[in-house]
A and B are shown apart, each in its own frame.
Chain A
Amino acid sequence: MERIRIDKYIHSLIKKELVSFMFRAILSDGKIWRDIIESISILVDEGVFIAGPNGIRLRAMDPSRVAMVDLELPASAFESYDCKDEIPIGVNFDDMKSIMKRVKTDEKLSLEKSESEARLKIKFLGKFTRTFSLPLLDIGKEELSVPKITFSTNIKLLVSALEDAIKDAEVVSDFIKIIVERDLLKIIASGDRGEVEIEITKDSGELLSIEFSEPSHALYSLAYLKKMMVATDLSDVCTLMFSTDMPLRLDFNMATGGKITYYLAPRMEAE
């Protein structure tokens, strides 16, 4: 009896919000968080979100160290956002993904972490409230820096055009060559199964802008590029940057604020 009464008491405190939260954020559309989680989890199995006064960020490298994902979600992207200090939130993305698959259309999402618990509360606020509690991981905070590169090209294009080009290239090969010369983005793939050449120009309306300081070309793995196309749910337009034989950078700017950036290391040309 005694036990039950104490539990009830603690519960009532939580309900009255007398137990303090270190971090609490509400997104007006839960599906955005679901898409963010999907676009991180295709590259990494574990990672640490850093929630700070100005927003949430995450930077992680895939296990083979070929690709990197960099998320920035400013406080302004949230309906309400409250976080005093920087706190690490280490999660297993498989588990987080399974939870986020349960989100329904028109549901708001609340993320909460209290001081006392090593758990993240994920609340779906819709017709009724559903609360998941995700155990957090104590992962050593390895501060990653992004690659230091001056990109010679900067191209804005519709994500649908890039997605189609990747699907075309996959038919014949495992990697693509990206070429920028004149006002033209050329994607070439070739292998035992054949060859394909895709030209994306401004005339078609799919290429929004193209800037380059010198003609550039590089090879990239299709397996990784295909994974990155998961983020196309977050944005209709992406920015592609690269230099000859250097990593590629792909930015997806979300309409609601925030950005996902991928980096992908190049392949060397085989003799």
Chain B
Amino acid sequence: MKACLICRGGRNLCGRIVCPIELKANSLIKNFKIINKKEFHGSSPPSIFVGRMGYPKVHIGPMVPPIIGDTSIMDMPELWINESLEKILEYRYSLIRGMMEFHVDCVKRGDKIITTLQEISLGKMPVDMEVKLIKEPIPFIKIDDYSQPFGPSAPLKSFDVFSVKVDYRLEKAYYDWDLRASEAVFELYRSGVPISSIQKALSMGSFGLLKDRKLVPTRWSITAVDSIISKRLIEDIKGYNSVDKYMVFSRLYMHNNFMAILMPGSWCYEWMEGWFPGTYWNRDSHEVAIMGDYEDYWGRSSYPNIGGCYFAARLAVAEYLKRIKRQAKVLIIREIYPEFPLPLGVWFVRENIRAMFNSKPIIFDELNLNYLRNIMRISIESWIMNSKILKDELFQRRISEFH
């Protein structure tokens, strides 16, 4: 497997100092206004960044644009599904990250700076702040497959926060020192708090048993939230009857072709990606690269190769099945075409699949390979060869057939 497909901008496997895809992203922001102020006023969406380099000593800080007003959309991926790529990059590029180094366990000590950042992470609307940086921010945008792009950063000297309007639901979980983090995440989701808000508060170590609280790098907390919520939804789903027909959903968006095939049977789930030659993680190859991961009814015990997207898509389909009160064998496929410019984060997968499940499915009495062939560019045979669920559906017989 190609190094890029495994690394996805996160591990520098090619040995270069800067990921080539990151360079491409930065060529797109050349014309954006450079922010060269060391001190400024601004409204944080609210937004906090927790880095992962150097774990357990990590860089954290508030993200603030030099703009006063309603900036909430800048850190709310739930609202980006119809935004253009330029607009999304512009939002992210205007958010300046002031960085300080902390040990992840600092949360337990009740440090003043940490409690202030935690308070910001509980905010329900933009927070006005004054930021003083030690240096001018470096005009650079960071890209990887998991988190949304991150804008310029600089070491932080100090910051002042005016008043924070906290979300009372997040605040309640924050003060509940006997509530486990996973319980808090699910309860907040159930009470309607957006995924991105839960994720921010989790990364600031705002939930969990007091002795367990710590900072969680933003990138990890995004996947943790998707994973925790979908796992709980799946427990409920397993109690429902199976869908009785084959349902096919599809959605073509920004040179990505998403498809979901729901088949009668007990819950199991597979996520597959097909990267065309010339796509950013499969640049120099002449062949489509197919990767996938799978869990059976009993779930999985190891971390999937694909990581973030696997759980983001699992959350979106679990939400749908919970809504229609059914279980199913689920295969989700994503074809990525060369024109798709940049990785934007797992929100792109989550929100697209959510949108796809809001569309009307095409319904069949059997697995209609001809129909599938027509809605995909990669041959159905290649998918079958790589897919556990398709192979199981086509080749595995059932005990009930022999009665």
User: In angstroms, how far is the closest chain A Cβ from the Cβ of B399?
Assistant: 5
Interface SS of chain B:
mixed
CB atoms of B399 and A263 under 8 A apart: yes
- Known pairs A63-B297, A147-B403, A149-B402; A270 contacts B396 (CB<8 A): no
Interface residue A66 (Cβ < 8 Å from any Cβ of B): yes
Those of A186-201 within 8 Å (CB) of chain B: none
A19 in contact (CB, < 8 A): no
Chain B residue with Cβ nearest A270: B395
> Are A148 and B402 neighbours in the complex by a CB distance under 8 Å?
yes
The closest CB in chain A to the CB of B391 belongs to A270
> Contact: A61 with B399, CB < 8 Å?
yes
In the assembled complex, the CB of B231 is this many whole angstroms from the nearest CB of chain A, namely: 14
Q: Select from chain B the residue with minimum beta-carbon distance to A67.
A: B399
Interface assignment of B191: CB less than 8 Å from any CB of chain A: no
Q: Give the interface size bracket for B toward A.
A: 20 to 34
Q: Which B residues touch A67, using CB under 8 A?
A: 399
Contact flag A265-B403 (CB < 8 Å), given A63-B266, A64-B266:
no
Q: A65 and B402 in contact (CB under 8 A), knowing A223-B296, A268-B395, A270-B391?
A: no
Given the known A-B contacts A63-B297, A66-B398, A268-B397, are A148 and B403 also in contact in the complex, defined by CB atoms under 8 Å? yes
B37-59 toward A: CB 8 Å interface, digit per residue (1/0)? 00000000000000000000000
- Give the shortest distance, in Å, between B291 (CB) and chain A (any CB): 14
B401 part of interface (Cβ distance < 8 Å): yes
0/1 string, A44-73, CB within 8 A of B gives 1: 010000000000000001111111100000
A142-153 contact mask (Cβ, 8 Å, vs B): 1 or 0:
000101110000
Q: Are B399 and A267 in contact (CB under 8 A)?
A: no
A65 CB contact (under 8 Å) in B268, B296, B400: B400
- B265 interface residue (CB < 8 Å to A): yes
Contact with A along B376-403 (1 / 0, CB 8 A): 0000000000001001101111111111
A265 B297 Cβ-Cβ under 8 A: no
Closest residue of chain A to B267, judged by CB? A63
Report yes or no: A246 in contact with B402, Cβ–Cβ below 8 A.
yes
Contacts of A61 in B (CB 8 A): 399-400
Most buried by A among B391, B394, B396: B396
Residues in A whose Cβ lies below 8 Å from that of B238: 45, 63
Q: Which residues of B contact A265 (CB under 8 A)?
A: 396-399, 401-402
Chain A residues near B401 (CB-CB < 8 A): 265
Interchain CA distance A45-B234 in the complex, whole Å: 14
* B297: nearest chain-A partner, CB-CB: A63
In the assembled complex, the Cα of A265 lies from the Cα of B297 at a distance in Å of: 17
Is the C-beta of A133 less than 8 angstroms from some C-beta in chain B?
no
Roughly how many angstroms separate A61 CA and B400 CA in the complex, as a whole number?
9
A149's nearest neighbour on chain B, judged by CB, is B402
A65 touches B403 (CB 8 A): no
Given that A148-B403, A223-B296 are known contacts, is A65 also in contact with B398, CB under 8 Å in the complex? yes
B265, B394, B395: the one contacting A64 at CB < 8 Å is B265
Complex: A221 Cα to B388 Cα, angstroms: 11
Q: A147-B402, A147-B403 are in contact. Are A266 and B266 (CB under 8 A)?
A: no
Q: How far is the CA of A149 from the CA of B399 in the complex (A)?
A: 11
Most buried by A among B267, B397, B400: B397
Q: Max chain B CB contacts within 10 Å: which of A45, A62, A65, A221?
A: A65
From 68 to 102 in chain A, residues with beta carbon under 8 angstroms from any chain B beta carbon are 68
Q: Which residues of B contact A64 (CB under 8 A)?
A: 265-266, 268, 296-297, 392, 398
Residue of B with least CB distance to A219 = B395
Determine how close the nearest CB of chain B comes to the CB of A260; give it in whole angstroms. Answer: 16
Rounded to whole angstroms, the CA-CA distance of A242 and B394 in the bound complex is 21
In the complex the two chains form, what is the Cα distance from A148 to B403 in whole Å?
6
A228-271 vs B: 1/0 string, CB under 8 Å? 00000000000000000011000000000000000111111110
Nearest-neighbour CB distance to chain A for B264, whole angstroms, equals 11
Q: Mark A195-226, 1 if CB is under 8 A from B, else 0.
A: 00000000000000000000000000101000
7 pairs from A and B in contact (CB 8 Å cutoff): A62-B297, A64-B398, A65-B265, A148-B402, A148-B403, A263-B399, A268-B394
Further contacts, 7 of them, CB under 8 A, given A63-B238, A147-B402, A247-B399: A63-B297, A64-B296, A64-B297, A64-B392, A68-B399, A263-B399, A266-B397
List residues of B whose CB falls within 8 A of some A CB: 238, 265-268, 296-297, 388, 391-392, 394-403
CB-CB nearest 4 A-B residue pairs: A63-B266, A147-B402, A65-B398, A265-B397
